[in-house]
Amino acid sequence: QVQLVVSGGGLVQPVGSLRLSCVVSGVKIDLVTAGWFRQAPGKQRELVAGIGSSGTTNYADSVKGRSTISRDNAKNMVYLQMNNLKFEDTAVYYCYIYYGRDYWGQGTQVTVSS
C-alpha cells in the first residue's frame, strides 16, 4: 500500500526559507517519479518541482533558482527546500508520486506573510 505523509509548512516571513518533507511507504522512491505541487486559493494545482527516477529535476519558472527538490533513498523521503519565499508562494503544498497511477500526500499549508 503506497502512502505519502507530508510534514513541514507553516507561517514564514518573506525572504524566509522552508523545507517540506514527504515520507513515502510502499514503493522505493528511486524507482518512481516524485514531485511537489501547490494550490493557491482560487487557482489550479500546479507543479512546483519534480524529480525522476534517474534523479533529473525540473522546476516551475516561478520557483526556479529559489527551490531545490531532493530525495533520500535510504529514508525513502522527498524534500522541497524553498528559499527567498514570496507572498505568491502561499498555497497548500502536496507531495506526489507516479507509480502506475497518481498518489498524493495530504496537503500542508505554507503561508508567506509579514
State the burial class of residue 102 (Cβ atoms within 10 Å of its Cβ: 0-12, 13-18, 19+): exposed
pLDDT at res. 101: 96
| pLDDT-flagged residues of the chain (< 50) | none
Calpha distance 68→65 (Å, rounded): 8
pLDDT at res. 90: 98
pLDDT at res. 98: 96
**68 three-class SS:** strand
